[in-house]
Chains A and B, each alone.
Chain A
Amino acid sequence: MKKGAFASRSPRAALRAAGLAALILVFVFPMFFMTSTSLKSSREANLTPPSLVPAEPRPENYSSAWGRMNFAHYLRNSLLSAFLTIAGQLLVCVPCAYAFAKRRFRFKKPLYRILLFDLIVPAQAIFFPIYILESRLGWINTMRGLVIPFFYSAFTIFSLVQYFKTIPDEILDAARLDGCSEARMITRVIAPMASPIIITVMIFTFVYKWNDYFWTSILTTDEAVRTLPMAIQNLMPVDHAAREWNIIMAGNVMALLPMLAAYILANKAVKRGFIRGSGK
């Protein structure tokens, strides 16, 4: 249909180009503007009309943002919490998804329904009892309090189950006949065959954890364990006029770079994971 509908006649080609340009403008321009502002002087950042490209690029904004945000400290916390969460999800969600996709057992359906509870009820609605629980456990302001609840993710389990179901049973049966244990089955058979979806959901977990502001602000009060979004918040004084947008944008760009790198590296896997795994 596509080839027929969009034959390469010139008015259509022009429309196409205009459409692409509009999309890029809407989605890229704000990001471009963020980067360009991060290189302006604070006076130029507040000019009217705004300049698109900095008159004199000031890369020193980045070193200034790095120092004033105490970036290295928050970067360490962000990396630690993201990687611990990923490791935890691999240990908790992958075996669970394998059991639901490929094993038969009693109460499988009702148990799966309960496990997907989080897909219906957002954890944000029930944060208060979670906060109380963590404070009873003494987990407030600790890294374990910030990561252990997220070792379980309904979204991760659901995505993995959908994909694992597409792995042929014959392969698993053959492995079982060879006396393969469940641990080996998961690490040597399932994981390699399902690597696109595993990479995809782990990227999502990384993005989620890296960008999380809500849980960090609820479960921590101590800068010692807080992550990068809190560092940006610390750059936002209550007084609107005093905001140094160039420094804030430099902080935003720096916080985005690891995400961008992860996404570019995993771009192919993400697309493959989606195409086979999503939907039904």
Chain B
Amino acid sequence: MKQCACSEGDSVRNYLRRVGSAVLRSPYTLILPAFALCLTFSVVPAALSIRDSFRSVDYVAGIDKFVGAANYASIFTDEVFLEVFKNTVVFMFCTVALSIPLAVAVALFLNEDRFMNNLTQSVIFTPHIVSFVAVATLWMFMMDPRYGILNHALGLFGLPPLRWLMDSSTSLLSLIIVASWKTIGFNSLIVIAALQKIPPELYEAARLDRSSPLGTFFRVTLPMISPVFVFLVTTSVIGAFSTFDLVKFMTEGGPRNSSSLMVYWIYRTGFLHFQIGRAMAGAVVLMLFLAAVSALNFALMNKRAHYQ
């Protein structure tokens, strides 16, 4: 009897131990915490955004009812939203078009292993570690129309002063310059990393073929680093779409919404004006646009990758 119970207890214990170690060894256990957080703080909020974009929500008055596409109709007939959307697209294209080619140029320039190059690599990376708040205050100071150093520099070249952030024709441009300034160093570090992985034999072969430097660049360098473009374009596009701090600090979207971007608009509409349904409709438009850009980007890059 006693022995029997003991062996039964033993087998239960063994069983629990086996289950326990199986659970501990299971890959699903390893991914569970990350997965739970991803669902809670990304996937579910995204789903709720989509749901609320079809509803009229007012937490104070206790209203929460389905309104169909009314929020979408409302924002797409709203001139302010349309301008903000246009600003965001312009901002995205300009920062990508400015920061990625310049980053490639800088990377090619600094690729060779020399002391000055390594120093400069480290130096141009510093804007990446400075907070947007510091970057914003610094550039606001430099872009001040009256005593800012940028206007002083323009004056040295005989150019007329600009009103930078204070003028609706230059405010968005000013933000584009600042955002690009902040990301070029980071982007070029990534390109340099890719350049250093190119096998030297390819350049040797190009040299034997008497390929011109430009030909070598287009036929060897560019195809070999094209995978990092997917990464760079995706992160730059997302960075551009999620820009908030610069707008909030430097212009508050002004003058007259000329520099307002989507996240800032969502923040104002949802957080300050409590138009949650409209804010969520804007968020869904932003998500869809981003998904489309990413899909296009991946498709183009895959094609290129197959091609080479």
Chain A residues at the B interface, C-beta cutoff of 8 Å: 1-6, 19-20, 23-24, 26-28, 30-31, 33-34, 37, 46-50, 91-93, 95-96, 98-100, 103-105, 108, 111, 114-115, 117-133, 148-149, 151-152, 154, 157, 181-183, 207, 210-211, 213-214, 217-218, 228-229, 232-233, 236, 245, 248-249, 252, 255-256, 259-260, 263, 267, 271, 274-275, 278-280
Binds A, one of B8-16, B65-73, B74-82, B106-114: B106-114
- Complex Cα gap A154–B104 (Å): 25
Whether A133 lies near B40 (C-beta < 8 A) is yes
- Complex Cα gap A1–B31 (Å): 45
Give the shortest distance, in Å, between A88 (CB) and chain B (any CB). 9
Give the shortest distance, in Å, between A77 (CB) and chain B (any CB). 14
Q: List 5 A-B contacts (CB under 8 A).
A: A2-B111, A30-B181, A95-B34, A182-B24, A249-B141
Contacts A263-B129, A274-B189, A278-B194 known; A151 to B37 CB distance under 8 Å? Answer: yes
Among A2, A20, A120, the residue within 8 A (CB) of B290 is A120
Whether A103 lies near B206 (C-beta < 8 A) is no
Give the shortest distance, in Å, between A189 (CB) and chain B (any CB). 14
Whether A129 lies near B133 (C-beta < 8 A) is no
Interface residue ranges of B161-220 to A (CB < 8 Å): 181, 184-185, 189-190, 193-194, 196-197, 203, 206-207, 213, 216, 220
Give the shortest distance, in Å, between A120 (CB) and chain B (any CB). 5
Contacts A91-B33, A115-B34, A278-B190 known; A48 to B146 CB distance under 8 Å? Answer: yes
Whether A278 lies near B193 (C-beta < 8 A) is yes
Whether B31 lies near A255 (C-beta < 8 A) is no
Whether A34 lies near B213 (C-beta < 8 A) is no
Residue of A nearest to B276 (CB): A128
Size class of B's contact patch? 35 or more
B100 part of interface (Cβ distance < 8 Å): no
Chain A residues contacting B96 (CB-CB under 8 Å) are none
Contacts A49-B152, A211-B132 known; A93 to B34 CB distance under 8 Å? Answer: yes
Residue of B nearest to A159 (CB): B231
B46 part of interface (Cβ distance < 8 Å): yes
Interface of A is mostly: helix
Interface residue ranges of B33-50 to A (CB < 8 Å): 33-35, 37-38, 40-46, 48-49
B228 part of interface (Cβ distance < 8 Å): yes
Residue of B nearest to A115 (CB): B38
Give the shortest distance, in Å, between B206 (CB) and chain A (any CB). 7
Give the shortest distance, in Å, between B142 (CB) and chain A (any CB). 7
B84 part of interface (Cβ distance < 8 Å): no
Whether A128 lies near B120 (C-beta < 8 A) is no
Give the shortest distance, in Å, between B207 (CB) and chain A (any CB). 6
- Complex Cα gap A279–B228 (Å): 5
Give the shortest distance, in Å, between B126 (CB) and chain A (any CB). 6
Among B122, B130, B139, the residue within 8 A (CB) of A267 is B122
Give the shortest distance, in Å, between A234 (CB) and chain B (any CB). 11
B28 part of interface (Cβ distance < 8 Å): yes
Whether A100 lies near B283 (C-beta < 8 A) is no
Whether B283 lies near A50 (C-beta < 8 A) is no
Whether A213 lies near B131 (C-beta < 8 A) is yes
Whether A181 lies near B46 (C-beta < 8 A) is no
A1, A50, A105, A252, most chain B CB atoms within 10 A: A1
Whether A118 lies near B181 (C-beta < 8 A) is no
Give the shortest distance, in Å, between A173 (CB) and chain B (any CB). 15
Interface string of B250-262 (1 = CB under 8 A from A): 0000000000001
Whether A95 lies near B30 (C-beta < 8 A) is yes
B56 part of interface (Cβ distance < 8 Å): no
B242 part of interface (Cβ distance < 8 Å): yes
Whether B33 lies near A121 (C-beta < 8 A) is no
Whether A47 lies near B231 (C-beta < 8 A) is no
Residue of B nearest to A156 (CB): B34
Chain B residues contacting A252 (CB-CB under 8 Å) are 130-131, 133-134, 137-138
- Complex Cα gap A31–B109 (Å): 22
- Complex Cα gap A59–B248 (Å): 30
Among B134, B245, B276, the residue within 8 A (CB) of A34 is B134
Whether B128 lies near A121 (C-beta < 8 A) is no
Chain B residues contacting A245 (CB-CB under 8 Å) are 137, 141
Give the shortest distance, in Å, between B222 (CB) and chain A (any CB). 12
Give the shortest distance, in Å, between A84 (CB) and chain B (any CB). 14
Whether A157 lies near B147 (C-beta < 8 A) is no
Known A-B contacts: A3-B112, A213-B133. Give 20 more (CB < 8 A): A23-B124, A24-B120, A24-B123, A50-B147, A99-B30, A99-B31, A111-B35, A114-B35, A117-B42, A122-B263, A128-B270, A128-B276, A149-B37, A152-B37, A213-B248, A249-B141, A252-B138, A256-B130, A279-B194, A279-B197
Residue of A nearest to B137 (CB): A248
- Complex Cα gap A241–B242 (Å): 30
Whether B141 lies near A128 (C-beta < 8 A) is no
Whether B109 lies near A19 (C-beta < 8 A) is yes
Chain B residues contacting A182 (CB-CB under 8 Å) are 24-25, 30
Whether A99 lies near B270 (C-beta < 8 A) is no
B116 part of interface (Cβ distance < 8 Å): yes
Among B31, B44, B141, B221, the residue within 8 A (CB) of A115 is B31
